[in-house]
Chains A and B, each alone.
Chain A
Amino acid sequence: MSGRGTKSFLLSGARELLFSGARPLFAIALALLTSAGMILATDANPITAYAALLQGAVGNFVSIANTCVRATPLLLGGIGVALGLKAGLLNVGVEGQIYAGAAAATAVGLIALPVPPCVHLFLAVLAGFLGGLLWAVIPGYLRAYRGISEIVVTLMLNYVGFYFISWLVEYPGILAEKGAVFPQSPPILESAQLPVLIRGTSLHAGIILGVILALFFHLLLRYSPFGFRTRMVGENPEAARYAGVNVTRQILMVILLFGGMGGLAGTGEVLGLKLRLFDAFSGGVGYEAIAVALLANGKPLGVILSAFFFGALKAGANKMQIVTGIETSMALVVLALAVLFVIAIGFGERRLISRRRKRGKDQAAKETQAYGN
């Protein structure tokens, strides 16, 4: 790639982010405005509240570390969802994949392997990826080969995953720690732990993994034949078939991939933050990752931004509570409102496409009958 190529790549990436960011940004603004109204209703000062929020999110190194830590699973899971969206698939099963990946990573992380630490870590991370991927095999097969919607199947597997972990970490489960008060695994061996980036904080390398993978998938979608095929299948499966793409196989591969990403989200939590496998450790983060991906309009690079936004909200919510007494659940409310406003406003571009395709069939013939075409 020549220098000119690199510059235009960066420029077009920036332009893309700007254009696709306009509507979600507007929606977020509306959400913050509405929440400000709610804060006013509780006799608190919205400005003080938001100031505290900002402080808690990015005010000092510890805050930023906190934000990043909370953003990490959202980023990793969100990238997978975004990939799925590009292929016309919706991954509702992030939660289950998180658990499956965490279990696999823990299993490897508990065994003292006769290998150097970075290899042990690598193997544990790989196990986590594969755990999530395996969790997506059933929905992947059912969707790709039988056309059964991945939505309900992955949703059900979320619960199976939740209870599966519960069984694993509750004594006498395979991963359970004997004599523990709460169901949990023994601590992950140090050789399998993700390195901490800033000493004294909980900021672990998972965030770096997330950013790298976001970049990787962005490049994959734009610069690889696999990405091209994926986008084709997502936009027009019929044309994709006509172009010789094996649509079935493509769908299966994408589903397995986003399963793996969900697994990595869980892996990051277990190998980086919690350092043990706890019962019910996820608490809904998987579902939030879906909202993250949506706010980013399915673009991997945009997911970095929206994951940080969510992470900031959650990190800052604590400070906001201390200063103004507003409950931390406000963050969730802002998040929900942001998503609702985004889908109410729509993405403009997307709506146009679907309207056009719906008019499809004989309208396609009619609409090209314009005079002076």
Chain B
Amino acid sequence: MGQGEEIALRMVRMTKQFPGVLANDNITLELRAGEVLGLLGENGAGKTTLMNILYGLHQPDAGEIYVNGKKAEITSPRVALDLGIGMVHQQFMLVGNLTALENVILGIPPRHPPLLELDSNRARFKKLAKEYQILIDPSTPVWQLSVGDKQWLEILKQIFRDVNILVLDEPTAVLAPSQVQQLFKKIRQLTEEGGAVIFISHKLDEVLEVTDQITVLRDGHVIGTISTHEATPPKLAQMMVGRPVSSKRKPRPASETTKEVLVVEGLCCDDDRGIPALKNLSLTVHTGEIVGVAGVGGNGQKELAESIAGLRQTTKGTIRINGELLTGVIRDPSLLGYIPEERNRTGLVDSFGVEENLILKTFDTPSFTHRGILKWGAIRQAADNLIEAYDIKTPHSTIPVRHLSGGNQQRVVIARELNAGPALLVSSQPTRGLDLGAVEAVHNMLLQERSRGAAVLFISAELAEVMALSDRIVVMFKGEIMGELDAETADVSLIGELMLGHREVFAVGGGTS
């Protein structure tokens, strides 16, 4: 693994402000030739923004970039490409109707304009593909390629352009473990030839395997940079998350947990890309207990929540709530309360007022509709009650919800979902993007629900809160449950291992209760 002396890239004091968010706060980063730098952080830490600045997609508010020692103003991707910087994005940047070859040569100024020179390019494509063992026929239309092949094609695109600095943004998201190893081989091939790679990920194990240095970002600033030799999962996890991952348990009364509320058996389903997201998953939640689902984001948690809420088609397996088989979207608020992961996209209608969002699911029930007419008076009354009960800070109940702060938006969702006292509460990343006070409120709410006797399924990528709140913890990895532990006695490092997929350390397979 090359440890070049020359510094290929320096980003100094990069700052970028979006309306309401300081995405990058004074970030400084260094990359040497022949080196792989890992850029690690949770979702929303600022990694992608920083790299988008490097690639010319955003302009920084402050900071300088030095490429090979020379200062550079990267105003567009064209400039970045001319400087030898390439980027493989999180989403595919491939045009489905064009062939693999056409996608690779897209945007490259031809040597003899205006002709495309397909023949010479095709030859080069095949040569490079062979060198890097990417088995794709250049004349295949991209829509026919498998997801894994599309990822290889993205990488081949960059190799084709002879980039010196390659940024990979979550490249392994769609790859199987064996393919991940192949990717790492290709990365090493690149660095051996003098290139430098920035490897963005939130997956600790991969970062540890392929990188030479690791820079950890959190909330827009650099927490630290350490050499990969010296890094360990707990150390990195703590840097990423910020709070010491302690098991500061919340005090709780004992509760009756005998009746099964949620029973999931052998559940399989696909994600939006068509890849299996849940593999034979089984899970049970009882009344009066909080089952925390730990695991790094992107391991099927979103799909699990959506399946239980009836919003995602499952391919195999069953879901039962209070003994009844789930067949579609659940509208009965006394049965299920669902706090979705992307509250703005799924759980709220931005332009609707607070009161309208509060009755989003119950607008046609007798309490709010009488003989086909919405009773806004009653709705307003109920909304005012909820606003008070759940401490939603809004000047008026008709204010469009998009004007509220994130914490208050979450309160609206919570008020709506919990008001009917559902038997089952599914809560997915409920504290994401909230300040400490709001987080505290959410935690207390979850415990209150538990005391009321609800069955709570609590999904969070923040291990600390999972450990603090749950009665039982299940760990998800790549769509399966790695293990199940009693939260009182759980050991952090054990959970950490399970989060990395190391099932062998634990004697239970599959995890039914």
Contact = CB atoms under 8 A, between A and B. Distances in A.
A353 B363 contact: no
Contacts of A274: none
A232 B44 contact: no
Given A361-B342, A364-B343, 6 more contacts: A2-B377, A223-B374, A353-B350, A360-B345, A364-B344, A373-B406
Interface of A: 1-2, 5, 222-225, 227-228, 231-232, 235-236, 238-244, 349, 353, 356-357, 360-373
Nearest to A240: B349
Contact of B360 (A1, A243, A369): A243
B407 to A, nearest CB: 6
B361 A243 contact: yes
| Nearest 5 Cβ contacts at the A-B interface | A368-B406, A368-B433, A244-B331, A225-B364, A370-B20
Given A225-B369, A241-B311, A353-B351, A1 B377 contact: yes
B114 to A, nearest CB: 32
A373 B434 contact: yes
B349 A367 contact: no
B405 A356 contact: no
A243 B364 CA distance: 11
Nearest to B19: A367
Contacts of B433: 365-369, 373
Contacts of B405: 368, 370, 373
Contact of B346 (A225, A242, A366, A370): A242
Contact of A235 (B18, B352, B372, B438): B352
B367 interface: no
A226 to B, nearest CB: 8
B143 interface: no
B374 A224 contact: yes
B329 A242 contact: yes
Nearest to A372: B435
Nearest to B433: A368
Nearest to B48: A362
Interface residues of B, number: 51
A227 B374 CA distance: 10
Interface string B358-372: 001101100001001
Interface string B372-403: 11101100000000000000000000000010
Contacts of A5: 376-377
A239 B435 CA distance: 25
A361 B373 CA distance: 35
Interface string B19-40: 1111100000000000000000
B422 interface: no
B329 A356 contact: no
24 contacts: A5-B377, A224-B373, A227-B374, A235-B350, A236-B345, A236-B350, A239-B348, A242-B338, A243-B331, A361-B345, A362-B43, A364-B342, A364-B343, A365-B432, A365-B433, A366-B18, A367-B433, A368-B21, A368-B405, A368-B407, A369-B44, A369-B220, A369-B433, A371-B22
B409 interface: yes
Contacts of A360: 344-345
A51 B273 CA distance: 63
Contacts of A238: 345-346
Given A1-B377, A2-B377, A373-B407, A364 B345 contact: yes
Main secondary structure of the interface of A (DSSP, over half): helix
A369 B311 contact: no
Interface of B: 18-23, 43-44, 48-49, 219-220, 309, 311, 329-331, 338, 340, 342-352, 356, 360-361, 363-364, 369, 372-374, 376-377, 402, 405-407, 409, 432-435, 438
Contacts of A368: 20-21, 405-407, 409, 432-434
A242 B44 contact: no
Contacts of B19: 367
Contacts of A235: 349-352
A366 B373 contact: no
Contacts of A353: 350-351, 402
A185 B438 CA distance: 71
A223 B434 contact: no
A232 B21 contact: no
Contacts of A363: 18
A176 B463 CA distance: 78
A2 B349 CA distance: 29
Given A223-B374, A244-B361, A373 B346 contact: no
B44 A362 contact: yes
B336 to A, nearest CB: 11
Contacts of A222: 374
B435 A225 contact: no
A5 B376 CA distance: 9
A239 B346 contact: yes
A239 B374 contact: no
B400 to A, nearest CB: 9
Nearest to B410: A368
B332 to A, nearest CB: 9
Nearest to B356: A228
A178 B329 CA distance: 59
B471 to A, nearest CB: 28
Nearest to A232: B349
A69 B41 CA distance: 66
B44 A370 contact: no
A5 B377 CA distance: 8
Contacts of B373: 223-224
Contacts of A367: 18-21, 406, 433
User: Counting chain B CB atoms within 10 Å of each CB, which of A5, A363, A365, A369 scores highest?
Assistant: A369
B372 A239 contact: no
Contacts of B345: 236, 238-239, 360-361, 364
A42 to B, nearest CB: 45
Nearest to A363: B18
